[in-house]
Amino acid sequence: MLIEAGPTVMQQIHRAGFEAADVEMVFVSHDHGDHALGFPMLALNRLSASTPLNVYAGLDTLTTLRILLALTWRGLKTHQFEITWHALSEEVAEQVNLGAGVVMRTVPVPAPPGVSTLAARWTFSGGPSVAFVTDTVACSEAVDLARGADLLIHEASFSATLQPDIDPRPIYHSTARQAGEIARAAGCPRLALVHLSPQVSDSPEALVEEARAGTGLDVIVPEDGDVLRV
């Protein structure tokens, strides 16, 4: 399962040693370009796949993905892409059985007006659970979703330490400090900081210390292509 489909998704898939046909499911949190613009390329590169692509997203996001597909590949018909669209609630929490003992739970999180954003959690039967939260402010919804998870993947677009004068709330993003607070409040032992802005991405050590805040929280800033075992 692929999480998000940003503009460089095909390069990232190949770098990780996979092909587009290996992706059977994709979850897209919202329809901003850095999360969705690579979707048409993913769909095109799966034309020879033997199984359909299952796309999970809120209804507004699904509508945007369909439009992107139609605009990008005007000579192709939608049915040629073998896509099954799964509309998730943009109003309330929802739980979906993905098969093979995997359950996905989604919940709406605060977002700019007109943008519907979902956070998600995947729980594996007899195994770990992973929560994913991005493009939102520090919120109780994230705490509830990540409660007891083995790994929280949370955005850290900003840094309270490196950018003390910036308030990320008006643009619905978070700091590394807030991501750490969310993880601790949720009782989640491990935190991965992602979605870093260019202004803070060169200082991973500072972000780790900011999120850890002197506690025993295990914090990492993963590099592209890293494999995390939970």
Domain annotation covers residue 31: yes
Q: Are 124 and 31 in the same domain?
A: no
Q: Are 20 and 78 in the same domain?
A: yes
Q: Are 19 and 56 in the same domain?
A: yes
For residue 201, the cross-strand partners are none
What are the CB-based long-range contacts (under 8 Å, 24+) for 217-223?
217/180, 217/183, 217/184, 217/189, 217/190, 217/191, 218/189, 218/190, 218/191, 219/180, 219/183, 219/190, 219/191, 219/192, 219/193, 220/190, 220/191, 220/192, 220/193, 221/192, 221/193, 221/196, 222/192, 222/194
CA distances 103 to 36, 57, 97, 129, 222, Å, are 23, 15, 5, 9, 25
Report, as an integer, the average pLDDT of 36-62.
Answer: 96
Look at the chain and report how many structural domains it folds into: 2
Q: Are 168 and 55 in the same domain?
A: no
**Residue 213 in tokens:** 């805040």
Which one of 29, 59, 88 terminates a domain? Answer: 88
Residue 60 backbone dihedrals phi, psi, to 5 degrees: -60, -40
Distance between first and last Cα of the chain: 16
Q: Can you give the pLDDT at residue 174?
A: 97
Residue 151 has pLDDT above 90, yes or no: yes
Q: Are 127 and 19 in the same domain?
A: no
Separation of CA 163 from chain center: 24
Which one of 72, 88, 104 terminates a domain? Answer: 88
Domain annotation covers residue 229: no
Amino acid at 75: G
Q: Can you give the pLDDT at residue 146?
A: 98
Helices marked H in 28-175 — which ranges?
A: 33-36, 39-45, 59-72, 140-146
Q: Can you give the pLDDT at residue 98?
A: 97
Q: Are 184 and 201 in the same domain?
A: yes
Q: Look up the domain containing 146 and give its range.
A: 93-223
Domain annotation covers residue 120: yes
Which one of 37, 65, 88 terminates a domain? Answer: 88
pLDDT tens digits for range 82-115:
999 999 999 999 999 999 999 999 999 999 999 9
Q: Are 161 and 137 in the same domain?
A: yes
Q: Are 190 and 218 in contact (CB under 8 A)?
A: yes
Report, as an integer, the average pLDDT of 140-148.
Answer: 98
Please, what is the average pLDDT of the chain? 96
Domain with residue 179: its CATH number is: 3.60.15.10
Q: Are 202 and 98 in the same domain?
A: yes
Residue 79 has pLDDT above 90, yes or no: no
Q: Band of the pLDDT at 225, cuts 50, 70, 90? A: confident
Considering the entire predicted model, what is its pTM? 0.96
